[in-house]
Structure 1
Amino acid sequence: MDMFDTLVDRAARLARDGHRAIIGICGAPGAGKSTLANAVSDVLGKRAIVVGMDGFHLAQAELERLGRAERKGAPDTFDADGYVHLIRRLRANAGTVYAPLFRRDIEEPIANAVAVPPETPLVITEGNYLLLDEPPWGELRALFDEVWFIAPDESDRMRRLVERHRAYGRSADAALARAHGSDQANAEVVLATASRADLVVSRWE
């Protein structure tokens, strides 16, 4: 069994009818978190749904008001309390929950874009700071059934990150500057949390 099949099997064992489970997929920018989350969800079909942490990015106007626009993606550029509250609601599974979605093409979150009905047994959530051990992020670890940390080869991660920035309209120079600047500063914070994961995955594709 290859690594992807192993991950699908782990997820499938948690996706039991009548029981709400939550898997967190953590990793640095460009690690492939959303790609893996969506790939596992696609295999499980209606048994799983993906909810991203990035839907809790503060709006660009608010980042500019706070003077944090140049550090977009850092822990204090998210509505962390809002994300923790959402995960608590998903854990309680008392009815349909609507989650936000981050649109990379406009660099803004869209409210109420993802519906999570109570009959969906597995929620897969992905983001940078799921394992960060500082308030309020530190409350998340106990709410997840499992957390997988994605840690690909650093050169591959950086290449994908630059390619993503280019795909969304940045010039080659701007993409490199973002990847090696604020993105790398955030990556170092994330990479330091890997030891809190249930499973560290270096390669799954």
Structure 2
Amino acid sequence: MTTYQMVSRPSAFTTFTRNEWANLSHKTSITLTADEREQLQGLNETISAEEVTDIYLPLSELIYLHMKHANHLHKDLNQFFQKKTKKVPFVIGIAGSVSVGKSTTARLIQTLISRFPTQPKVDLVTTDGFLLPNAVLEERGLMKRKGFPESYDIESLLGFLTDLKSGCAYMETPLYSHLTYDRLTEKQIVEEPDVVIVEGINVLQVNKKNKKIPQMFVSDFFDFSIYVDAEEDNILNWYIERFKLLRNTAFQKPESFFHRYRHLSDEEAVGFATDIWKSINGVNLERNIRPTKNRADLILKKGAGHRVEEIMVKKK
């Protein structure tokens, strides 16, 4: 009988502590005021000046380095092929769980990159707009699987990304309302961007179950991708705190999808949010979202208070 010993394999990532990462910054003159940080932060997040300086400035510098290399490669290929083609947008994908802070990360990166020397035009598109309308989800019995891969109009999302990387100058993407919990009729205009950030829980997933969709994945269109990670206990706490905050704000509005939960006590709100997490969001995280994190080019690992503690960068 043959026995096998576990062999320690080299990692595909280079890991940086927070301090190591902070030391990579070239200390650019880019800054964010307290008011700007407040506008960019999520509902139950606080973006400190230290977090911007130590984490997001080095990250934006790294992305900008990738953008410059992509521009140089485009020029070299034009010369090689003896053709003059227009540079297509640089696309950044940002993935991670519900309530982990993807949207805040996306807004910070959008703002910081747009302030670099070439002042690129940076658009942010969230995949929430590509969720199937509630009426369709109800018809298909998928309302309790909202956010799972099968609840998205992946064909439309792939169509948008194909147009984007084909050099289309003008595109429209669907918008989503977290108030009404449904897709809107209004559209987001994406017009001649230099950079597009695509943010959503599903952007690094593959679509193995849908045989009707060609074997093309959302991440195939990314030039750089980020996964925002955290321990599930932290994410659950952030989800509960956000639910409680929304109960006292957005849920109070009659047009809110969750208006009927506006009178829940703290204890009831915690119980209800925990049940949703355990039956829907936590299941989606373990089955569909977290298994994709090693497909990212960079992983931001958060600790308590949304403070980034570790950064992993895929080796090239």
**Is TM (by shorter chain) over 0.5?**
yes
Equivalent-residue separation in structure 1 for 2:216 and 2:88 (angstroms):
24
The structure with higher relative contact order (CA 8 Å, sep 6+) is 1
**Letter of the structure 1 residue corresponding to residue 57 of structure 2:** D
Q: Which amino acid aligns with 1:141?
A: S
Structure 2 residue aligned with 1:50, among 110, 124, 140? 124
Distance 1:193 1:138 in 2: 16
What is the aligned counterpart of 2:202 among 98, 109, 129? 129
Tell whether the 8 Å contact from 2:87 to 2:167 is kept in structure 1 after alignment.
no
Match in the other structure for 1:29? 98
Counterpart of 2:293 (choices 156, 181, 194) is 194
Instruction: Pick from 278, 285, 292 the counterpart of residue 180 of structure 1.
Output: 278
What does 1:58-97 align with in structure 2 at a 5 Å threshold? Answer: 58-97=132-171
How far is the alpha carbon of 1:71 from its aligned partner?
1.4
> For this pair of structures, how many residues does the alignment match?
204
SS at match of 2:230: coil
- Are the aligned partners of 2:158 and 2:217 in contact in 1 as well (CA < 8 Å)? yes
Report the structure number with the largest CA radius of gyration.
Answer: 2
Give the % identical residues: 24
CA shift for structure 1 position 124:
0.4
Other structure's SS at 2:242 match = helix
- Matched-pair contact (CA < 8 Å) for 1:59–1:108: yes
Q: Which residue of 1 aligns with 2:232?
A: 154
Following superposition, the deviation at residue 11 of structure 1 comes to 3.1
SS of residue matched to 2:240: helix
Q: What SS does structure 2 have at the residue aligned with 1:195?
A: helix
Instruction: Kindly report structure 1 stretches of 4+ aligned residues shifted beyond 6 Å.
Output: none
How does the TM-score come out when normalised to structure 1? 0.89
1:18 Cα offset (Å): 4.6
Report the alpha carbon displacement of residue 8 of structure 1 after superposing the two structures with TM. Answer: 1.4
With structure 2 as the length reference, what TM-score do the two structures score?
Answer: 0.60
Aligned to 1:4: 56
Which residue number in structure 2 is paired with residue 20 of structure 1?
A: 89
SS in 2 for 1:124: strand
Distance 1:86 1:164 in 2: 31
- Equivalent residues of 1:99, 1:111 under 8 A apart: no
> Aligned equivalents of 1:82 and 1:164: distance in 2?
30
Please give the secondary structure, in 1, of the residue aligned with 2:204.
coil
CA deviation profile, 1:16-74 (whole Å, cap 9, x unmatched): 69541000001111121111101111223462111001111111111111111111111
Greater shift in the superposed pair: 187-196 or 91-100: 91-100
Change (3 A) 1:164 1:58: farther
Please name the residue that 1:144 is paired with: 222
Structure 2: gaps spanning 5 or more residues: 1-24, 26-53, 72-85, 115-119, 252-260, 309-316
Gaps of 5+ in 1: none
What is the deviation of 1:79? Answer: 0.6
Alpha-carbon distance in structure 2 between the residues aligned to 1:102 and 1:10? 31
Task: Indicate the SS of the match to 2:189.
Answer: strand
CA distance in 1, matches of 2:206, 2:133: 24
Q: Do the aligned partners of 2:172 and 2:189 also contact (CA within 8 Å) in 1?
A: yes
* C-alpha distance in structure 1 between counterparts of 2:161 and 2:237, whole Å: 31
Q: Distance in 2 between matches of 1:59 and 1:70?
A: 13
